[in-house]
Each structure stands twice: as C-alpha cells, then as structure tokens.
Amino acid sequence: MTAHALHSVTATAADTTAKNANGSLGLLVFLVLAVAVVFLLRSMTKHLRKVQKINFDDQPADTRGPGPRHPSV
C-alpha cells in the first residue's frame, strides 16, 4: 500500500468518526432542549391554572389597576 493510499484511508476514517461525533452531540443537545421545553410547558400550564382560578370580577373597582390610557390632547 502506498503512502498516498494509506493517507486517504485514515483520512476517511477520521472524517467518519468526526461526523458521527458531531451527529451524536447534536442529538444530545436536541434531546436536552426538548426535555427543557417539556418542563417549561408543564410549569406554564400549572401557573395558568392558578391564574384562571382568580375571579377578577370579585375585586373592588379601585384594586383592578389603571384603566386604558388616553392621550391628553
């Protein structure tokens, strides 16, 4: 086997290993982000359920906060 042929075989093996490592790392990052999104969605739905239980009509008018702003003319 010549030196040129040996170099091309080892370069191809190294490229394949690098591509596999990059693909594995990308998959790992994607899975971590997907799990984080699932936990964020669960937390958001829990907080939204708490907000929906509050009935804003039962509060006195002065504690509802400021109304819509009208520009002064």
Euclidean distance between CA atoms 26 and 33, whole angstroms: 11
As given in the structure block, the two tokens for residue 41 are 């969605």
Q: How many domains does the chain have?
A: 1
Q: What is the pLDDT of residue 3?
A: 61
Would 47 be classed as within a structural domain? yes
Would 27 be classed as within a structural domain? yes
Would 70 be classed as within a structural domain? no
Measured CA distances, 43 to 14, 29, 53, 72 (Å)? 44, 21, 16, 41
As given in the structure block, the two tokens for residue 55 are 């009935």
Q: Which amino acid is at 50?
A: K
Q: Which domain holds residue 41?
A: 18-53
pLDDT tens, N- to C-terminus, the chain (73 residues): 566 665 565 566 667 777 788 899 999 999 999 999 999 999 999 999 888 777 665 555 555 566 667 666 5
Contact 3, 10 (CB under 8 A): no
What's the whole-model pTM score?
0.49
